[in-house]
Amino acid sequence: MSRALPLWRSLLYVPVTSQRFVEKAAARGADVIKLDLEDSIPPTEKPSARAAVRDAARLISDAGTEVLVRINRPWRMASLDLEAAVWPEVSGLCLPKLESADHLGFLDEIVEELERERGMTVGSIRFMGLIETPRGLNNVREIAKASPRLMGLSLGQEDYSAALGMPSLGPEDLLEDMRLVQRAAREADILPLGYAGSIAEITDMDAFRGSAKRARALGMEGGSCVHPAQVPILNEVFSPRPDEIEMAEAMVAAYDDAMAKGLGAVSFRGKMIDVPVVERARRVLVLHDRIAARS
């Protein structure tokens, strides 16, 4: 990854109108709290939710946890949400149902106007995008490259499966679609996020862990959740294991030593290693250091 991307292993949704949840949000251990203005807020409560955003974001960000705000999709609602959410206390926006590069570009333009009006650094508000419709998936490569604000992209499992008319969502039903989003994210040098199982799985934590582990094995970097019990699972799964760290440290040391001696071939624990393998090990160590710094 050539640009500095955020550490987003776990992104916990919190309804912004629930003061009790907001007050406890920063203590949940999530890398990011996503204050929700969308699905968890009934239409009649949208105005009060918008009014609560800045104070909620300040409370959470002052406690040292990053804040994103998930806005609504219809343009008239989205415009009101942006007015309520673009503040220094908010580090980014979660954008649902992205369907085209133009869609993302319009949002980017509005956010820049608000940043300038409010004396904020232009570009300080980052984006996380959700692909939740067939049209969005068909345009995912263009969407992924449409704005330098876009830091990560995820398949929105529940909305996307509903849009496809799927009666239920199994742990592997959306693997193919998730991988399309992942490849688009990697091509655009942003974070691939998410897992193929249901985000609403809050009773069978073994099943939830399985979905997260499959996603990590495929190269995903983190995922969203709706319950605090899911947070430690995501943090654990999307962090390097002790054995991975030990292996990476030893491999990098062996490779660097061989290069310093001018050796053209490097053997490590019975296998030949080359640049791509070592770079993967270096990424493990960088991630480990970033997690340690945050802790």
More confident of the two residues 81 and 198:
81
Task: HSE, CB side, 13 Å, CA atoms: give it for residue 206.
Answer: 0
What is the domain partition of the chain in residue ranges? Answer: 10-237, 242-294
The pLDDT value given to residue 1: 38
CA dihedral 163, 231, 62, 127 (to 10 degrees): -30
Helix (H, G, I), strand (E, B) or coil at 284: helix
- Mean of all residue pLDDT scores within the chain: 95
* Of 105-109, 134-138, 144-148, 159-163, the least confident: 159-163
Closest alpha carbon to 127 in 110, 116, 137: 110
pLDDT in tens, 250-293: 999 999 988 898 887 788 998 989 899 999 999 999 999 999 99
The pLDDT value given to residue 50: 98
Confidence label for 171 from pLDDT (cuts 50, 70 and 90): confident
For residue 202, pLDDT beyond 50: yes
Dist CA 168 CA 262 (whole Å): 57
Place of tokens 């809050």: 202
The pLDDT value given to residue 192: 98
What mean pLDDT do residues 59-72 have?
Answer: 98
Task: Quote the percentage of the chain above a pLDDT of 90.
Answer: 87
Bridge partners (DSSP) of residue 94 are 70, 128
Confidence label for 229 from pLDDT (cuts 50, 70 and 90): very high
For residue 7, pLDDT beyond 70: yes
The pLDDT value given to residue 173: 86
Where on the phi/psi map is residue 119: left (φ > 0), alpha (ψ -120 to 50), or beta? left
Where on the phi/psi map is residue 262: left (φ > 0), alpha (ψ -120 to 50), or beta? left
What mean pLDDT do residues 38-46 have?
Answer: 96
Dist CA 145 CA 262 (whole Å): 40
For residue 51, pLDDT beyond 70: yes
In this structure, are residues 234 and 271 in contact, taking their beta carbons and an 8 Å threshold?
A: no
For residue 2, pLDDT beyond 70: no
* Of 29-38, 45-54, 173-182, the least confident: 173-182
The pLDDT value given to residue 160: 94
- CATH class for the region spanning 10-237: alpha beta
